[in-house]
Structure 1
């Protein structure tokens, strides 16, 4: 395993690469993503405890989606065995990653609570509502911006961590370490990737909705834009996470195939 230092141009191609993976089997990836959302929605409906379970399960659930993307990318069938690849031997590590992500999130919200009196925390974990003054409320707005800034290093540490833990059998510390510094080393393509996400998932849909709204009305325009956004862009975005891993980390085919064979043998034992 080796983390490459890629030029910025690679980041522009990650979303396109995600779409290429999605096109191999749109139905399976969309259904898996829908199941992921439904699980989080159902569990998250329980205040506090639901958020705790969601955070602990998130690395494992994310890995299931990444396993599907890896299988599609390699032209393999998406089976229960391939979806569960790497989970059993690294289950404790994946749960620990979820716990640490929860601790990191709580630490960030603890800092923002000094600014907004805990409004953002209540919104995220207790099912609270935004301040009556709205997002423009100065304290809540500052807390939100501060949280967005503080969450960047946390996301960097966890971006590749579930895949590194499951596919390369790394422990918690090493998975977080290599993920963080792989992102730091490739800040240019990640910056380009962020700009492309803003363009395709934010600016272009907003412009399309505005133009269609002039002719069809705001309600119908929103439906015409949001439905393809959910059905196509959402699974494409998920697949682009895998593409970023595939580009940054070098793993020889022989090593990969040997690892898959070992996992399959273990799964049939």
Structure 2
């Protein structure tokens, strides 16, 4: 395995490949992502422990969606069993992905904890359910804890971005995978930046389209009906694209020989 440096413009290509691959198998890719979200929703019913388990399963679920994206890219139908790919390759791989999940949960709880400590004590703003006021938005963006948590989350995200794939497909240990993932994201920071900006643009365009439809066809009621499915679709499409960032960031001896 060797790190592969890609041009910055590849970031936009990853976005396009993610969308293209998703629409090859929209029911399968959307269904797999929905299954993961359903499992998280059920686990969240368990106080505290459910949240920790949900966070710990994120690397395994990410790997499963990568495996499904790889199948869809090659023209095959991604089966539901791919979602548990991390637990189907023997005890050693299972142990490694569980260790990685535990480290991810611990890192996220640390980030949340630091953010909560720095959050100011502000009185709750009573608003009707579902309504967002300018005061609530202003209070959220004026929260220093939010910005500190976001800054702290960036290196955590970089460290865990490629880690599930490195552990499962390349046999890298959980601790080394975090270092290699961080280095790969940094080495391809131009592509990763354009990749992030590309998805931000997609999300913003989707928001504009939904607002226009709400105005033309029925107001806020219609927006509430289509909002959740649209968010799930965009999230599933985004997770489909993660595989391409991994595929192009690392090469093996077989890849170089081909």
Map 1:1-269 onto structure 2 (within 5 A). Answer: 1-79=1-79, 84-85=84-85, 87=87, 88=90, 89-116=92-119, 134-137=136-139, 141-201=143-203, 203-219=204-220, 221-222=222-223, 226=227, 229-230=230-231, 232-251=233-252
Report the Cα distance in structure 1 between the residues aligned to 2:85 and 2:232, rounded to whole angstroms: 26
Q: Is the partner of 2:47 in helix, strand or coil? A: coil
Compared with structure 1, are the counterparts of its residues 225 and 9 closer, same or farther at alpha carbon in structure 2 (3 Å cutoff)? farther
Report the Cα distance in structure 2 between the residues aligned to 1:84 and 1:206, rounded to whole angstroms: 32
**Structure 1 gap segments, 5+ residues each:** 120-132, 256-269
Question: When the two structures are superposed, what TM-score results if normalisation uses the length of structure 1?
Answer: 0.79
- Is residue 135–residue 141 contact of structure 1 (8 Å, CA) maintained in 2? no
User: Which residue matches 2:126?
Assistant: none
Deviation at 1:143, TM superposition (A): 0.9
Question: When the two structures are superposed, what TM-score results if normalisation uses the length of structure 2?
Answer: 0.83
Q: How many residues align?
A: 241
- Is residue 112–residue 118 contact of structure 1 (8 Å, CA) maintained in 2? no
- Is residue 116–residue 139 contact of structure 1 (8 Å, CA) maintained in 2? no
Deviation string 1:131-183 (CA, Å, 9 cap, x unpaired) is xx735337972111111111000000000100110011111111111111000
Report the Cα distance in structure 2 between the residues aligned to 1:21 and 1:113, rounded to whole angstroms: 38
**Structure 2 gap segments, 5+ residues each:** 123-134
Q: Is the partner of 1:179 in helix, strand or coil? A: helix
Q: Is the partner of 2:171 in helix, strand or coil? A: coil
